[in-house]
Structure formats: C-alpha cells, structure tokens
Amino acid sequence: MEVARGLEGVLFTESRMCFIDGEKGRLYYFGYPIQELAEKSSFEEVTFLLLHGRLPKKEELEAFTRRLAQRRALPEPLLDSLRRYPREAHPMSILRTAVSELGLLDPTEGEITQEALYEKGLDLVARFATIVAANKRFREGKEPIPPREDLSHAANFLYMANGTEPSPEQARLMDAALILHAEHGFNASTFTAIAAFSTETDLYSAITAAVASLKGPRHGGANEAVMKMIQEIGSPERAREWVQKKLAQKERIMGMGHRVYKAFDPRAGVLERLARLVAEKHGHSKAYQILKIVEEEAGKVLNPRGIYPNVDFYSGVVYSDLGFGLEFFTPIFAVARISGWVGHILEYKALDNRLLRPDARYIGELDRPYIPLEAR
C-alpha cells in the first residue's frame, strides 16, 4: 500500500459541511460561497448553518441568537481558576485548560446523545468568547466584564475584551473575521476533534484536543508568525529587500502558501479588503503597507508555483486594529472555529462515529535477539 504522508488525499468519511476547491480558490459552507456569507451573514446565522445544515428562518435565528446570548456567562469556579492561572501563560494553553475544566464542572459531562452534544456545543460556542475575553482582561491586570445579552456575539466579544462597546464598523469587522474562520473541512484541529470523539469520549475532551492542535504554529498559530514577520521587517521601505533575502535563502514567507489552496485563498481575499478598510481608517496602516509589498514581491517568485496569501496573511492586521495583541490571534481563531468543530462532531456522530484507527508501514527489524542487560 502507498503511504499517504500527512494523510494527504486520504478519504475517511463523507461530509456535507464544507467544500474546498483548492485549484480554483473556492470555499463553501453547506454549499454557500464564503464570500457571500462573510458579506451578508452573521456569526450566529453561520453557526446555525453549521449545526443544522441549513440557513434559519427569521424567527429561528432570533430564537437561536437569544439561546446563545443566554449561555455566555462562565461558572464562578471557572472564573476563580482563570484568576489563578499564570498571566504569562499562552492564552491558548489557558483556553485549553478552561475547556477541560468546563467538563469537570458539568455533572452530565459523559452524555453523548445527539441532543446532549448539541446543547453542550451551544454552551461552548457561547462561552469560548467569554473565556478569551476574560483571560485578556486578567492578563492586563483588570477584572473581567460580564457579557451582555443585547449585543451580537461579535460585538459582545469586543465589549468584554476591551471594556467599551464597539462601533458598528468594528463589530462588523469581527463578525466577518469569525465567519471566515468558522469552518474549513478536515484540517488538523477538526480531524483531531473527530479522532478523539470517535472513541466515544465526551465533547469537552474532544474539543480540548482540538484546541491543543490549533495552538501549533503550523496551524492556528501561523497568524502570530505573520505579525512577528511584520515586526521584523519594521517599515515598508525594508520590505522588498527582506523578501528577496528570505527567498534567496529558501526560507518561508509566513502567511503564504496552503496545503489545500493552489490559488488565492478566498478567505484571504475578504480579509485583505477588511485590512484595507482598517488602513484607510487609520491613514494607511504601516502593517498593511508592509503586507502588500510582501505579497507583491514574494508573488513574483511564489505565485507561479501556486503559492498565494492564505487566511493568516491579513487577519492579524484586522485583529490588531480591534484591540488584540498577537498572543490572542489564535484564541480568536478558536472563538470562531468552535462552531465548525461542534458541527463536524454532530455530523460524524449521526453518520456512524466509526473509530478512527489508521495504520503504518513497519520498517523496523524483526526477531532481534534479546541481550541481557549486563552483556550490553
């Protein structure tokens, strides 16, 4: 049998949730183009779509939005724990630990019926934003701000994180960013969630595993690396020379290239427009200028090879404008992706939840003689 390195090209299940056309740069959630959803929808509506497989009617969306808003508050024991967590710890490590603790605090943790998974999934979608916002406040030496039920998910997240109610423009920026990151097929963290849940473990354990996977710099952590690249370049005037040097040394340009896309990542196209709005609002953001030069200069060499900006390339500029330091870029990713993780677990559970058990080609020796310890 041929070894599929990184499981590339291996089909292990069927799904209606996400279609990715890497050759043409297309992405769909349940058949809806991502560009259209990012422009016209809301995170709550997209979450309903990912959990139900269809867009809601008006009254359904209103009821669903209320249900999510009512679940935002965190249990007091978890807030107490968040106060005690080391402030210097990575926010993804804190999120991972907090999700695990939510399982400890749920007396019905082990229930994995479709109905129980759905209800627990709604709790997690609602509370991820509250956990990340509370951690940001504690990290700044401030007390967390209780959630408000009268704000949208995106607006409430910004309100809890920054202490002031966001402008409609800021709320829309965050809403679109969350939509773009909500789902992306069987990426590493989603596959990790499914692999864990296929053992019939509880939802909290599966999501904890997904958070741990997303933390890696080759997955969710890539957007942090892009901002570090911007900081290293320092000014637009240095960008071209910096890119030329990196390419000459055959080093990676962070935020460019994707395992799936051989064309421009459609999410990156939407985020580039959002980043441009941010730049115009602030009178030409230096970070945006640097990225545009990097994209242009690197593209001369990389585009012919099918390497283009991915979703991480411009997201950091948007998050930075919304008041977040780079250490919170990946947690924001998780605030969005939790809806996709839960949706996939619900779908896989309904399908057959077959235990994942891949194999490997053995390339070691056999029948090696055992040598006693004193004779080695």
Would you call 312 a catalytic residue per the annotation? yes
**Those residues with Cβ within 8 angstroms of residue 90's Cβ, 6 or more apart along the chain or in another chain:** 215, 327
Identify which of 183, 194, 259, 175 has the alpha carbon closest to the alpha carbon of residue 29.
183
Q: Exposure of 204 by Cβ count < 10 A (0-12 exposed, 13-18 middle, 19+ buried)?
A: buried
What DSSP designation does 309 have? Answer: B
In the set 153, 181, 184, 258, the catalytic residue is 258
Side chain identity, residue 328: F
Concatenated DSSP letters of 212-233: HHHTSTTTTTHHHHHHHHHHHH
**SS3 of residue 77 by DSSP:** helix
Q: For this structure, is 344 an active site residue? A: no
Catalytic-role residue among 175, 202, 265, 312: 312
Q: Cα(54)–Cα(99) distance, rounded to whole angstroms?
A: 28
Distance CA 142, CA 219 (A): 30
- Pairwise CA distance, residues 270 & 277, whole Å: 11
Handedness of CA 142, 220, 191, 93 (dihedral sign): negative
Of residues 21, 52, 106, 219, which has the active-site annotation? 219
**Cross-strand pairs, 19:** 28
Single-letter code of the amino acid located at 85: Y
Instruction: Give the residue numbers marked as catalytic.
Output: 219, 258, 312
